């Protein structure tokens, strides 16, 4: 058996036991060699890390560093087809993040989560919804917290960040 | 100053990490084997490695081996990582990742390194003391704890706070702490027991890191200090016991204790 199969046989870690945003990659579990899904999952992972950074660092996050992080993700959007709805929503999100307009950002994240859910990628959607919930909670945005929790319960996941 | 073991063969990556970690000591490893040898020799606050440091070798498998041997040493993976790499790294137990396009983002890299090198033991000690010791006393213990891996001694601790040794002793008494010497003794035992919970560590390497002449000397210190002796030094219960007994060894600051219970 090839050496890498040793990792394939390990049970996936829980969300809290892996690094931030890893859950967005768990859709690869069925076929980790699926290159197209790998590219999508990677972009979702990069996007969700931006949201977690905003949620955790709050107003302390450096605007230039955040902009540079957004630019780095934007450069990779070309990996998705031009008319792909997920690509458009990711582009919108990358435009919203540097503005630090939190309600708009949460709204965009939730929409992106819905698109990912509709594509049948449950874990990617869950990570996006959880990121939206954490960001809404960090700024006390009750209505958006409720929407995020509702989206999570739609997936059968607990509505707690 | 924490030590970070680093496996980054590309000079540009090393420079980027150096720029983001000015207050840490970096030790360069030549390959994965060397990285593990460095961490085994001297407990590191964290390790940083390029997933593709050794062409032809499965980096994620190296991460898995590392995280099994040193589960309390965060391993930050650096490099050009595709979706599958990231997925496998999560399963293999990597602490976090720095993606190639972000390596020039100094603040982002320093945030990742700060998360990886945050000292959970210093935080646990601080939490354990909170209900009995005021801010000044806890600040002193924090200073001491942060420097245990550097082998801090009482005169250095006194210097860091601008006191003479005798003033430091008096302050410890006023703040409800045990003596400076015993604070350092307890912290050495707490850190030593914490490092020993990692299967890849030997008693000898831990003992030398915290300033004991041999593994036997460290065992003796644990035996005479902990109420259960030196039994099961590698079990997490011994670490919990050391924390509890350290707190009990501090008389406590009556003002802090009464404010906490009010």
Return the pLDDT at B23. 84
Residue carrying structure tokens 């949620």: A55
Residue carrying structure tokens 């996941």: A157
Residue carrying structure tokens 């496996």: B7
Return the pLDDT at B260. 60
pLDDT surpasses 50 at A1 = no
pLDDT per position as a tens digit, B44-81: 899 999 999 999 889 999 999 999 999 999 999 999 99
Return the pLDDT at A2. 58
SS3 label, residue B48? strand
Range A60-96 burial, b when 16+ CB lie within 10 A, else e: ebeeebbebbbebbeeebeebeeeeebbebbebbbeb
Return the pLDDT at B261. 56
Return the pLDDT at B230. 66
Chain B hits for A41, Cβ within 8 Å: 83, 86-87
Pairwise CA distance, residues A124 & A86, whole Å = 12
pLDDT surpasses 60 at A122 = yes
Asked whether B64 and B40 are in contact (CB, 8 A), the reply is no
Return the pLDDT at A4. 64
Return the pLDDT at B97. 98
Which residue spans within chain B are E strands per DSSP? Answer: 2-7, 24-28, 46-50, 75-79, 96-99
Chain B hits for A25, Cβ within 8 Å: 83, 86-87, 90
Q: What does pTM read for this prediction?
A: 0.88
pLDDT surpasses 70 at A142 = yes
pLDDT per position as a tens digit, A63-94: 999 999 999 999 999 999 999 999 999 999 99
- The chain B residue lying nearest A38, using CA atoms, is B83
Beta-carbon contacts below 8 Å between A and B: 88
pLDDT surpasses 80 at A139 = yes
For chain A, list residues whose CB is within 8 angstroms of any CB belonging to chain B: 3-4, 6-7, 10, 12-13, 18-20, 22, 25-26, 28-29, 32-33, 37-42, 45-46, 53, 57, 62, 64-65, 68-69, 72, 75-76
CA distances from B37 to B18, B48, B69 (A): 21, 14, 11
Residue B44 sits at φ, ψ, to 5 deg, of -100, 150
Asked whether B53 and B14 are in contact (CB, 8 A), the reply is no
Return the pLDDT at A79. 93
Contact B87 A62 (CB under 8 A): no
Interior angle at CA A68, CA A64 and CA A72, nearest 5: 170
Chain B hits for A18, Cβ within 8 Å: 90-91
Chain A hits for B93, Cβ within 8 Å: 13
Return the pLDDT at B26. 96
**Confidence band for A3, pLDDT divided at 50, 70 and 90:** low
ipTM over 0.90: yes
Which residues lie closer than 8 Å to A117 by C-beta, 6 or more apart? A125, A154, A155
Chain A hits for B84, Cβ within 8 Å: 28, 32-33, 38
Which residues lie closer than 8 Å to B68 by C-beta, 6 or more apart? B93, B199
Contact A38 B99 (CB under 8 A): no
Return the pLDDT at A160. 57
Burial of A108 (0-12, 13-18, 19+ CB in 10 A): buried
pLDDT < 70 regions, chain B: 230, 257, 259-262
């Amino acid at each position: 058996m090839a050496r890498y199969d040793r990792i394939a046989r390990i049970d996936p870690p829980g969300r809290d036991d892996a690094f931030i945003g890893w859950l967005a990659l768990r859709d690869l579990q069925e076929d980790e060699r699926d290159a197209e899904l790998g590219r999508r999952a990677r972009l979702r992972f990069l996007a969700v890390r931006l949201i977690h950074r905003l949620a955790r660092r709050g107003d302390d996050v450096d605007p230039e560093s955040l902009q540079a992080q957004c630019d780095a993700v934007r450069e990779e959007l070309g990996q998705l087809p031009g008319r792909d709805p997920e690509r458009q929503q990711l582009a919108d999100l990358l435009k919203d993040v540097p503005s630090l307009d939190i309600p708009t950002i949460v709204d965009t994240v939730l929409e992106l989560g819905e698109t990912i859910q509709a594509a049948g990628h449950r874990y990617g959607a869950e990570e996006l919804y959880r990121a939206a919930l954490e960001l809404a909670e960090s700024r006390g945005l009750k209505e958006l917290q409720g929407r995020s929790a509702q989206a999570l319960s739609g997936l059968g996941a607990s509505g707690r960040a | 100053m924490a030590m970070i073991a680093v496996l980054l063969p590309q000079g540009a990556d090393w420079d980027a990490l150096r720029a983001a970690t000015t207050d840490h000591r970096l030790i360069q490893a030549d390959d994965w084997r060397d990285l593990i040898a460095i961490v085994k020799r001297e407990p590191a606050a964290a390790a940083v490695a390029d997933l593709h440091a050794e062409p032809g070798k499965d980096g994620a498998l190296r991460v898995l081996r590392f995280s099994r041997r040193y589960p309390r040493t965060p391993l930050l993976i650096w490099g050009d990582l595709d979706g599958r790499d990231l997925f496998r790294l999560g399963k293999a137990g990597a602490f976090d990742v720095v993606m190639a396009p972000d390596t020039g983002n100094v603040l982002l890299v320093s945030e990742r390194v700060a998360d990886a090198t945050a000292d959970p033991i210093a935080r646990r000690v601080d939490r354990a003391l909170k209900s009995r010791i005021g801010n000044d006393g806890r600040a002193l213990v924090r200073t001491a704890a942060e420097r245990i891996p550097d082998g801090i001694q009482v005169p250095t601790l006194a210097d860091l706070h601008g006191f003479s040794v005798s003033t430091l002793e008096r302050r410890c008494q006023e703040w409800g702490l045990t003596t400076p010497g015993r604070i350092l003794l307890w912290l050495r035992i707490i850190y030593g027991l914490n490092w020993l919970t990692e299967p890849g560590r030997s008693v000898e390497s831990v003992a030398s890191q915290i300033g004991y002449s041999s593994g036997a000397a460290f065992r003796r210190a644990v035996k005479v200090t902990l109420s259960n002796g030196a039994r099961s030094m590698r079990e997490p219960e011994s670490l919990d016991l050391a924390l509890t007994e350290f707190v009990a060894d501090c008389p406590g600051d009556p003002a802090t204790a009464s404010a906490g219970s009010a």
